[in-house]
Each structure stands twice: as C-alpha cells, then as structure tokens.
Amino acid sequence: MNSHLQNEVDEWVARTPRSAEAYRKACTNVPGGVGSNFRFMEPYPMFVSRARGSRIFDLDGNEFIDFMLSMGSLLVGHSHPAVVKAITEQASERGTLYCIPHVFEQEVAAQLAARFGQAMWRFVNSGTEATMTALRIARGYTGKKYIVKFEGHYHGHNDQTLVTTSALLRQLGRGDRGVKVPASQGIPEETYALTLVAVFNNLESVKALFNERPGQIAAVICEPVMMDCGCIEAEPGFFEALRDLCHENGALLIFDEVKTGCKLAPGGATEHYGIKPDIVCVAKALAGGLPLGAIGADEEIMEIVGNGSVIQVGTFGANPLVLSVANVVLRDLLTPEAYRRVFELNRMLVDGYRAIVREHRLRAQVNGVGPNGIITFTDRPLKSYREFMTADEEAFRLYWFAMMNRGVMPAHHYGGDVWTVSIVHTREDIETHLGAFERIAPMFR
C-alpha cells in the first residue's frame, strides 16, 4: 500500500473505533457484517448513527457532507421534511399496506407518464424487480426469448442480468465481442443462457448478436449512462442507431433508468437525450429514500400486463405508503426550478474537479451529467467498461479515505459509482467538497 493511503486509512481507523466495534458485533449474526455485499469495505465499513439533509453521521460522531446519498437515491436529501410529513400522515391516518387498489397508483403513474412520455406504469419495490419485470414484458410482447445486455451495465441482482457486471479485463477477450462472466457463484450457466452480452458504444457488437440469432432477440437492455463505471455516456447517435436496430429486428429497447430516472432531467435520460425507449425502468430517486421501482411503456405493450397474459404481482408492490411519498416528491420537491439549481451546482463541482485535475496534472478523468459526476484515475478517456477497468483502484481508495478524513463522503467507497448533488446541498457544500479535493490532490501526482 502506498504511504499516503496507509496514513489515510490509519487516520480513518483512529477516528472510527465504534464502527470497528459495531462491525465485529454485526459479524456474529449478519454474514460479512453487512446487509448487502456492496456495503463491505476493508478494513471494515462505517456504521451510521443518523442522517439529515445533506449530512450523515457515524457512530463516533464524525460528520460528513453526503454526496453518496444512498447510491444516488436521495436527490431530495435525507429525511426531507415533506417526506417525513407524507410518511407520518399516511402511516398514522391511512395505513401502510392494503393489497387492494388505491388512488396514489394513478396519481404517481400520471406524473411519470408526463415526465417520460410512457402512458402506463406498474410499481414494484426495487430496481431489480423493475428490470426483471421489464424483461418478462418484452419477452411476452415479442414472443422471443433472448435478451442483450452490455458489459459493465448493472441491472440488479437477478441471475439473468448479473453477468459481466464486474468482470476483470483479462476475462473480456477481444474488444468487439462481449463475454459472459457471472458476477457471483450460485448462478449456473443455464440461468443466463438466454442472455447475450455486447460492448457499449459499439453498435457492431450488437449487430453481430442480431445476425447470429435472427428473429430470436426480445430486447436490448441498457443503462443510458454507465453510472457504476465512471459515468460513461453514449456517443452521439448511438441510441438512435440502437433503437433502429432493435426495431428492424422486432426487438424492444429497454432503458434501465434506475439511476438516471427523474435525475438527469425530470424525465430522466429519456428526456435528456431525447430518445424514447419502448420500456423504461425507474427506481432510486422516486420516493425520497423509500423503496420504489416502476416500469413504464405505452398502452399497446402494457395491454398484455393489463389483461393478465403477462403477470406482474407482489404483496408489497404499489405500496400506499411509498406511493403517497413518491406523489409528494415528484409533485412538490423535484420541480423544474429544483433541477435547474442542482444542475448548476453540479456543473460547478465538475468544472472545479477538472480545474484541479489540470492544475495538478493528474492522470484522471472527470465525467459528469445532470446531478452526477465522478473522478476516475486513468489517463484513458472512458468509452466503455474496458477503459474503466484500466483505472487505478488504489488511487480511488486513497481519494475516498482522504476525502472522508476531511469531512466529505464523495461517493460510494466502491469505486465507479457517481456522486449526487441533491436539492438540499448548498453552494458552500460544493466549495467545501472542492476545497477538500484541492488539499488532497498533490498526493496523486
């Protein structure tokens, strides 16, 4: 380990004895001490005591300006008063679960329809459920069985898409063909036999799959921005060509907007890039920190869900508590003015990072879009997962610990995931963030 990194980790360990103790205790009943494998980190994860607005506190009382914001879910910050009010009102006066229809379903669906231009919506509890459901709908609608995904695109933890999400560079082979590498044990080949893998920003790699299986591909699913791999955007014209290719071959284009939905613009990447996919999946930012996923498409596609020929069900789905909150978040908090302000603050953050990178001649890429951004320590401009995998992981680790020791949680410790500027961050928060990065930048020369 380089000496800067060792010093920063030592300092962090000295500041977090209660997290260390909580972690030891957690390991007795919680596998790996964490509730989701992505939350584990060496030497141990931070344990949270509380969070409010743009601030998060650990068990030792350390305070951080939070730009990780629950992996980008909290565009309205922690415990926004309007969210707390909506939760309280629903729970105390109207109940938390019915398993019977209620009016918030239509109200939230109408708001999403206006944002994304997709008329019909169903609601689930997570991004994973949204993408799983979208794939089933695409197969039901087209009557075809294969699906295409891209290297490095994460669509949740279901077996059929948990393939080539975290493969090593040496596992990927030639640059013009995707390779299937399951991201976990317990995923037998048969469970992803109908999944095909292409290379993002490489239309030829998708064409080759359509040519090999004419008339058999139901859908291409993609993250409109690779939010887990350095914030990589599609090259101009890529989405248009991809959608044309899908339609020429009788397949649907699915945008997995779990991370971009209601974030890049009110209508997500759909609006930001001006591309209407056939099916859209949204989740994280919808309900102010409560679990909600949604699948949208037009009437013709969703007819098969409405008439029950493709089933979409779930006890906790379309939960009234969660949807009553989403209704308020979408209607009252994520307003056009709020987006304008957030995008302006993020532009300031991205430009500030780029200026510091230039000034200190760092081997790093700074990408940003909407409320999101990230620094990736590589000298190769990022075009696909393959360039992202050339990044210096140890440099990212140093960046993360050094920023934490200066009171800024810059992003998830798991390198690749973007930062989020929320509606509760201030200009001073951005200046503090940039000030911390400016101070640590000499360590990366």
Which chain residues interact with ligand PLP by CB under 6 A? Answer: 71, 126-128, 131, 154-156, 223, 227-228, 256, 258-259, 283
Minimum distance from residue 132 beta carbon to ligand PLP (Å):
9
Pick the closer one to ligand PLP by CB: 156 or 266: 156
Minimum distance from residue 16 beta carbon to ligand PLP (Å):
25
Which one of the listed residues 256, 278, 417, 429 is annotated catalytic? 256
Minimum distance from residue 119 beta carbon to ligand PLP (Å):
23
Pick the closer one to ligand PLP by CB: 224 or 352: 224
Instruction: Tell me the residue nearest to ligand PLP as measured from the CB.
Output: 127
Q: How many CB atoms lie within 10 A of CB 188?
A: 10
Element (DSSP H or E) covering residue 148? strand 146-150
Minimum distance from residue 427 beta carbon to ligand PLP (Å):
28
* Complete DSSP assignment for 379-433: SSPPSSHHHHTTS-HHHHHHHHHHHHTTTEE-S-SSTTPPEE--TT--HHHHHHH
Distance CA 301, CA 120 (A): 9
Minimum distance from residue 196 beta carbon to ligand PLP (Å):
18
Catalytic residue list contains 154: yes
Pick the closer one to ligand PLP by CB: 7 or 191: 191
Nearest to 412 by CA among 284, 235, 292, 311: 284
Minimum distance from residue 1 beta carbon to ligand PLP (Å):
29
Minimum distance from residue 125 beta carbon to ligand PLP (Å):
8
Element (DSSP H or E) covering residue 118? none
Pick the closer one to ligand PLP by CB: 228 or 233: 228
Catalytic residue list contains 284: yes
Task: Output the six-digit token pair for 128.
Answer: 């994973």
Nearest to 162 by CA among 149, 176, 146: 149
Residue pair 115/129 in contact (Cβ under 8 Å)? The answer is: no
Give the list of residues 6+ apart from residue 135 with CB closer than 8 angstroms, or none. Answer: 147, 160, 161, 218, 219, 221, 254
Pick the closer one to ligand PLP by CB: 256 or 278: 256
State the Cα torsion 322-324-329-331 to the nearest 10°. Answer: 150
CA 130 to chain centre: 13
Pick the closer one to ligand PLP by CB: 421 or 441: 421
Q: Phi and psi at residue 365, in whole multiples of 5°?
A: -110, 135
Which three-class secondary structure state does DSSP give residue 122? strand
Catalytic residue list contains 256: yes
Which one of the listed residues 144, 149, 263, 284 is annotated catalytic? 284
Which three-class secondary structure state does DSSP give residue 223? coil
Distance CA 147, CA 137 (A): 12
Pick the closer one to ligand PLP by CB: 366 or 418: 418
Active-site positions read 154, 256, 284
